[in-house]
């Protein structure tokens, strides 16, 4: 391998970047303004006005009359049919929002921290840190931007800061209902879990209890990764070899497991988002869908009114933040009865949906 210094290469690289920078023409004084005005995108549901006055503000100002600007930092793709898609769809459904910017795929916590900080610096009114692992840096960054509202999910902690709200999902509730439904259709169920934290653990617990309470055998494996779809696929294959006739799982890596379910002709039970499009007809039985707008609208209304948050929100079956939607299988009366009766029992507190320890 050559060892000659590559000073010409480095010089060339720097020269190209310098030429590009000169050709682009913006001065430093305008950089923040342009970054604020242009570092946005609008979703189809947002209002038409994308230009705001707050591009050069270091903090949010409660938004313009057309609504507030929201930024989302999330660990996976915005169309992952799971965790990130749920928050994107939830924000898209909100009223009082003029712009939405998204930084997906930030599984590196430090990159997410940089994105959160930059959005706050660019004057976004509400910065949503959609990942439990973002709590550490958020706790430090939020203190530096006291006039910017931050939301952290899924979590139930605001660090005692007035400008941090948190939101969580009682995923165990919907998990229990789906587990009960699965037990009525399957005898052996494989559960592909990511890491046993947050709403992932809640869902797995709830599903396991719901299925076992109704007579099904359940095997659970945590792959120790939120994003490794190949590992999820291999885990699902192992379940199939062990005789599973239904599968479920949570987090963005489940698309790998859904593929195995489709390939092997098994039934799938989804969570976080509607996972029906991920497989052919007849595979996805039902989904627990997170409808974050049911709680985030309150937060947005507070921010529009000039407040910065400090509350904890949770979506549950009772407040309709969690919805059980059927997928692409033929829905029978029995299935509907199981879902309705089990949901009522969960809401009434008649069943245990969380495994201690």
Partner 1 sequence: MNHRLSGLLIPAAAVVAALLIGALMILALGANPVDGYRELFIGAFGSGDALADTAVRAMPLLLVGVGICVAFRAKVINIGGEGQIIAGALVSTVTVLVVPGLPSLILIPLVLVAGMIGGGFWGAIPGALKAYLSVNEILSTIMLNIVAVQIMNYLLRDPLIDPEEIERGTRIPQTERLSENADLPILLDGTRLHLGVVVAVMAAVVAWAFLWRTTIGFKVRAVGQNPAAAGYAGMPVKRMTLLALTYSGAMCGLAGAVLVFGSQSHRLITDGSSAGFTGSAGFNGIVAALFGGLHPLWTIPSSFLFGGLLVGANAMQRAIQIPSALAVGLNGLVVVFVVSSNRIRDRMRQRSELAAAARALARREAEDEQHTDDIGGKVVA
The CB-of-86 to partner 1 minimum distance in angstroms stands at 18
Give kind and range of the element (H or E) at residue 357. Answer: none
Other CB atoms within 10 A of residue 95 CB = 12
- 101 or 244, CB closer to partner 1? 101
Q: Which is nearer to partner 1, 26 or 49 (CB)?
A: 26
Please check whether residue 322 is in contact with residue 177, taking contact to mean a CB–CB distance below 8 angstroms: no
3-state secondary structure of 186: coil
User: Would you say 203 or 226 has its CB closer to partner 1?
Assistant: 226
- Burial call 221-251: b when 16+ CB within 10 Å, e when fewer: bbbebbbbbebbbbbbbebbeeebbbbbbbb
- 206 and 353 Cβ atoms separated by less than 8 Å: yes
- CB of residue 351 vs partner 1: minimum separation in angstroms? 19
Report, in Å, the least distance between residue 107 CB and partner 1. 5
Nearer to partner 1, 157 or 334 (CB): 157
Toward partner 1, which CB reaches closer, 175 or 198?
Answer: 198
* Rounded alpha-carbon distances, angstroms, from residue 76 to 89, 119, 186, 252, 345: 14, 18, 31, 7, 34
Q: Which is nearer to partner 1, 5 or 349 (CB)?
A: 5
CB 112 within 8 A of CB 281: no
Query: Cβ of residue 146: shortest distance to partner 1, in angstroms?
Result: 16
Q: Which of 61, 86, 65 is nearest to 76 (CA)?
A: 86
- Quote the CA–CA distance of 37 and 24 in Å, as a whole number: 16
CB of 20 to partner 1, least distance (A): 5
CA-closest candidate to residue 233, choices 196, 192, 271, 194: 192
Which of 39, 64 has the CB closer to partner 1?
A: 39
Compute the least distance from the CB of residue 345 to partner 1, in Å: 23
Packing angle, helices 198-213 and 171-183, rounded to 10: 30
Distance of closest approach, residue 267 Cβ to partner 1, in angstroms: 28
Please answer whether residues 85 and 79 qualify as being in contact, where contact means their C-beta atoms are separated by less than 8 angstroms: yes
SS3 128: strand
Nearer to partner 1, 33 or 61 (CB): 33
CB of 78 to partner 1, least distance (A): 8
């Amino acid at each position: 391998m050559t060892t000659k210094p590559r000073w010409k290469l480095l010089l060339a690289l720097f020269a190209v970047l310098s030429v590009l920078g000169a050709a682009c023409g913006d001065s430093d004084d305008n950089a923040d303004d342009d970054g604020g005005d242009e570092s946005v995108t609008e979703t189809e549901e947002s209002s038409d006005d994308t230009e705001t006055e707050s591009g050069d503000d270091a903090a949010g100002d409660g938004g313009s009359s057309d609504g507030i600007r929201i930024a989302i930092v999330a660990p996976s793709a915005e169309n992952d049919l799971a965790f990130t898609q749920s928050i994107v769809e939830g924000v898209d459904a909100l009223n009082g929002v003029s712009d939405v910017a998204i930084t997906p795929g930030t599984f590196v916590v430090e990159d997410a921290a940089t994105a959160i900080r930059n959005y706050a610096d660019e004057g976004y009114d509400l910065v949503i840190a959609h990942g439990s692992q973002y709590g550490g840096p958020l706790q430090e960054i939020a203190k530096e931007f006291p006039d910017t509202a931050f939301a952290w999910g899924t979590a139930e902690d605001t660090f005692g800061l007035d400008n941090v709200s948190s939101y969580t999902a009682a995923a165990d509730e919907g998990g229990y209902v789906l587990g009960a439904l699965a037990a009525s259709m399957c005898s052996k169920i494989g559960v592909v879990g990511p890491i046993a934290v947050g709403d992932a653990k809640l869902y797995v617990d709830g599903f396991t209890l719901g299925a076992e309470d109704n007579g099904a055998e359940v095997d659970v494996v945590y792959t120790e990764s939120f994003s490794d779809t190949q590992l999820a696929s291999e885990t699902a294959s192992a379940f199939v070899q062990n005789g599973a006739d239904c599968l479920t799982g949570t987090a963005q890596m489940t698309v790998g497991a859904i593929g195995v379910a489709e390939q092997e002709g098994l039934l799938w039970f989804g969570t976080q988002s509607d996972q029906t499009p991920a497989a052919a007809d007849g595979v996805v039985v039902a989904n627990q869908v997170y409808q974050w707008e049911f709680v985030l609208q309150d937060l947005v209304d507070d921010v529009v009114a000039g407040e910065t948050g400090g509350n904890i929100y949770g979506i549950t079956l009772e407040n309709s933040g969690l919805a059980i939607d059927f997928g692409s299988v033929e829905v029978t009366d029995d299935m509907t009865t199981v879902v309705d009766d089990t949901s009522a029992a969960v809401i009434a507190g008649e069943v245990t949906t969380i495994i201690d320890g």
